[in-house]
Chain A
Amino acid sequence: MILFHYFRVFFGEAQVQHGYDSIWHRLGEHCWYSLIALVCAAVIALPLAFLTGHTGRGDAPIAGLAAVGRAMPSLGLLVLLAVKMGLNFQAVLIPLVALAVPPILLNTHEGIRGVDTATVDAARGMGMTPLQILLRVEIPAALPLILNGLRSASVQIVATATIAAVVSFGGFGRYVLDGLYEYDYAQVAGGALLVALLSIAVLGLFGVLSRTLVSPGVRRRVQ
């Protein structure tokens, strides 16, 4: 199959094995900046969602924000900010964070809101302060949904960071874009494969995280 031929050609090239354009370097770029964006998005979205989820307010605005986030084209945001701010990292970071906040916000809010009212009532009746209820009861019980949100956000970030190559970002998207401009389809295919593998690895990582962090009493069983 022609795809596999491309893969073989790509991974055989010396330049992708070491040096500036190597896979390892690109991987590091992609992961590092994705991580920064995820942390920023989490720092913004998580506390806000804890507040709205715990108090039960903000259903409509958050649903609206999630809808806007879904409708927002990542490529458009990236290009807009690049034209406004130049081809630097901040111009890429802002769209990455902006697109990652809605899934974290929505899922965390729903998760906390969805904790059984009887459980929260019992916790209040036992004399837990609101903060204690949030930290010791609501968050652990909502953890599956919170992790879901973080996972969605991570996948979104990895994908957007790939497209950011259009505005001179590095990472695996670089292979795809450079390959397109140079008509080097091996590079294009190789880059796409790497990106796909990275995304699947992120899914796997969250699977492991979910298994270790989520209490067995809360683990959702997909029926």
Chain B
Amino acid sequence: MISFERVTKRYPDGTVAVSSLSLEAPDGAITVLVGPSGCGKTTSLRMVNRLIEPTEGRILVNGVDARQQPAAELRRGIGYVIQQAGLFPHRTIVDNIATVPRLLGQSRSAARNRAFELMELVGLDKALAKRYPHQLSGGQQQRVGVARALAADPPVLLMDEPFSAVDPIVRKGLQEEFLRIQAAVAKTILFVTHDIDEAVKLGDKIAVLRQGGILAQFDTPDRLLAEPADEFVEQFLGTDRGIKRLTFYTANGLNLLGGPVVAADTEPAAAREAALSGGFPWLLVVDEQRRPLGWTNPEALSGSQPVGKTRLVSFGHVFRADTDSLRAALDSAVLSPTGWAVGVDAEGGVIGVVSQETIADAIRAAHATQAHVDVAVGDVEGEPAAEDAGPEDRSLEQAR
């Protein structure tokens, strides 16, 4: 756990970068510091490993005041990842990753073995081990930076905008990899970003800071989006925070209809029959593996061709019925020319389809349940205790 106790940073010329910051970053979770430039988020982060010393207040890392130890020793127990990676240009990738273990006295072979393990963990091809940083892409360099920070297995990780310097596609991949890694290693992480979407996506708790290093709100992402503390936070969250909230509701409980799904080789007469009896305005045509091909209008069906051979309307994109959020489902429905979303399983086979209206009902229900749970559970940090949540807790699962 990382505790800030009324931490202040005042510079000689009078500027206050951080003002009486107090918060507790819980163990094994990702705490995100987010805010506009000048809000002191990077300064706060760098005070944890004493790259900057606080003027007032103190910081406790796992219960111990950071100033108890010599700074260099403290830092060897804390992983540090920065925006430009800061890899050593004169060392190979594997030697870069092995740096802290070597600093701590491990033998070169032991450190290198550990480095290889970590390369696998962060998804780097072993063939890159003997290369030099300048030969790697930006995304690869960032992965090396993360691997290097994890090498000595520190309990705490500090990350300063690690994914900001790469392009959006690479960034998305890195974010997802990062969540996967965290699920495996469960470190206590303090993560700085200026991007509220990244904060919502990655954070277990989010601290929103305003200019001058003042804490505006410290909450779980869901509650942050639901109840911003003031106008500043609301503006910072952006105008689509309602939609953003939907990422926290899983689509798992949605009632998907299998009726409108027909195989490609169905005869048009049979198809029309199915549509009439079910009252379906559209039919989804699938192939032998139940993969979606497109929508067809049953009333426009004529002739003797099986439905698969007729002109089909594009189905847009699908959502994973078991793991995706209501937001993904809604997006799929809105994008679809027919207004219906297609839910698939892990192999891409269609489970069922759902209309925008059904999704809207599900959203309303989720909001209502959330309000109940808020009242029942009160102000608990982290995951709600198992016995407090009723059968509705499925809707509250954080779906990313």
Q: Do A and B come from one complex?
A: yes
A17 at the interface (CB under 8 A from B): no
Roughly how many angstroms separate A119 CA and B84 CA in the complex, as a whole number? 8
A123 at the interface (CB under 8 A from B): yes
- Pairwise interchain contact B133-A128, C-beta atoms closer than 8 A: no
Roughly how many angstroms separate A118 CA and B73 CA in the complex, as a whole number? 20
For B, the interface residue count at a CB cutoff of 8 angstroms equals 31
- Closest residue of A by beta carbon distance from B100: A126
A159 at the interface (CB under 8 A from B): no
Per-residue 0/1 for A94-130: is the Cβ within 8 Å of any B Cβ (1 yes, 0 no)? 0000000000000000000000101111111111110
Per-residue 0/1 for B217-257: is the Cβ within 8 Å of any A Cβ (1 yes, 0 no)? 00000000000000000000000000000000000000000
Given known pairs A128-B72, A216-B132, the reply for A119 and B80 (CB within 8 Å) is no
Chain A interface category by residue count: 20 to 34
Within 8 A of A (CB), among B67-126: 71-78, 80, 82-92, 99-100, 103
B389 at the interface (CB under 8 A from A): no
- Pairwise interchain contact B72-A123, C-beta atoms closer than 8 A: no
Given known pairs A122-B85, A126-B99, A129-B72, the reply for A218 and B90 (CB within 8 Å) is yes
Roughly how many angstroms separate A128 CA and B103 CA in the complex, as a whole number? 8
B338 at the interface (CB under 8 A from A): no
- Pairwise interchain contact A215-B72, C-beta atoms closer than 8 A: no
Roughly how many angstroms separate A121 CA and B99 CA in the complex, as a whole number? 14
B64 at the interface (CB under 8 A from A): no
Per-residue 0/1 for A125-153: is the Cβ within 8 Å of any B Cβ (1 yes, 0 no)? 11111001000010011010000000000
- Closest residue of B by beta carbon distance from A140: B90
A217 at the interface (CB under 8 A from B): yes
Given known pairs A126-B75, A128-B103, the reply for A217 and B92 (CB within 8 Å) is yes
B364 at the interface (CB under 8 A from A): no
- Chain A residues with CB under 8 A of B100: 126-127
A118 to chain B, nearest CB (A): 4
Given known pairs A127-B72, A128-B103, the reply for A122 and B92 (CB within 8 Å) is no
B76 CB contact (under 8 Å) in A127, A137, A143, A216: A127
Roughly how many angstroms separate A121 CA and B84 CA in the complex, as a whole number? 10
Given known pairs A127-B72, A132-B103, the reply for A122 and B86 (CB within 8 Å) is yes
**Which of B84, B88, B133 has its CB near the most chain A CB atoms (within 10 A)?**
B88
- Chain B residues with CB under 8 A of A217: 88-92, 132-134
A141 CB contact (under 8 Å) in B71, B76, B90: B90
B82 CB contact (under 8 Å) in A121, A129, A143: A121
Roughly how many angstroms separate A124 CA and B103 CA in the complex, as a whole number? 12
- Pairwise interchain contact A125-B90, C-beta atoms closer than 8 A: no
- Pairwise interchain contact A141-B82, C-beta atoms closer than 8 A: no
Roughly how many angstroms separate A120 CA and B86 CA in the complex, as a whole number? 7
- Pairwise interchain contact A215-B91, C-beta atoms closer than 8 A: yes
- Chain A residues with CB under 8 A of B158: 125
- Pairwise interchain contact A125-B49, C-beta atoms closer than 8 A: yes
A118 CB contact (under 8 Å) in B72, B74, B75, B84: B84
B51 at the interface (CB under 8 A from A): yes
- Closest residue of A by beta carbon distance from B83: A118
- Chain A residues with CB under 8 A of B133: 217
Roughly how many angstroms separate A116 CA and B87 CA in the complex, as a whole number? 10
Q: Please report whether the interface of chain A is mostly helix, strand, loop or mixed according to DSSP.
A: helix
- Pairwise interchain contact B74-A137, C-beta atoms closer than 8 A: no
- Pairwise interchain contact B103-A127, C-beta atoms closer than 8 A: yes
- Chain B residues with CB under 8 A of A118: 82-86
B150 to chain A, nearest CB (A): 12
Roughly how many angstroms separate A56 CA and B83 CA in the complex, as a whole number? 22
- Pairwise interchain contact B132-A125, C-beta atoms closer than 8 A: no
- Chain B residues with CB under 8 A of A218: 89-90
A122 CB contact (under 8 Å) in B76, B87, B103, B132: B87
Per-residue 0/1 for B170-195: is the Cβ within 8 Å of any A Cβ (1 yes, 0 no)? 00000000000000000000000000
- Pairwise interchain contact A121-B132, C-beta atoms closer than 8 A: no
- Chain A residues with CB under 8 A of B91: 140, 215, 217
Roughly how many angstroms separate A126 CA and B91 CA in the complex, as a whole number? 15
- Pairwise interchain contact B89-A116, C-beta atoms closer than 8 A: yes
- Pairwise interchain contact A124-B74, C-beta atoms closer than 8 A: no
Roughly how many angstroms separate A38 CA and B145 CA in the complex, as a whole number? 40
A65 to chain B, nearest CB (A): 28
Per-residue 0/1 for A49-63: is the Cβ within 8 Å of any B Cβ (1 yes, 0 no)? 000000000000000
- Chain A residues with CB under 8 A of B76: 126-127
Roughly how many angstroms separate A124 CA and B78 CA in the complex, as a whole number? 12
- Chain A residues with CB under 8 A of B145: 122
- Pairwise interchain contact B89-A119, C-beta atoms closer than 8 A: yes
- Chain A residues with CB under 8 A of B89: 116, 119, 141, 215, 217-218
A141 to chain B, nearest CB (A): 5
- Chain B residues with CB under 8 A of A132: 103
A12 to chain B, nearest CB (A): 50
- Chain B residues with CB under 8 A of A143: 90
Roughly how many angstroms separate A123 CA and B148 CA in the complex, as a whole number? 11
- Pairwise interchain contact A122-B90, C-beta atoms closer than 8 A: no
Instruction: Name B residues whose Cβ lies closer than 8 Å to a Cβ of A.
Output: 49, 51, 71-78, 80, 82-92, 99-100, 103, 132-134, 145, 148, 158
Q: List 7 A-B contacts (CB under 8 A).
A: A116-B84, A119-B86, A119-B88, A124-B75, A127-B73, A127-B74, A217-B133
Please list the 8 inter-chain residue pairs (A to B) with the smallest Cβ-Cβ separation, ordered nearest first. A122-B86, A217-B132, A127-B75, A125-B80, A127-B76, A215-B90, A118-B86, A118-B84
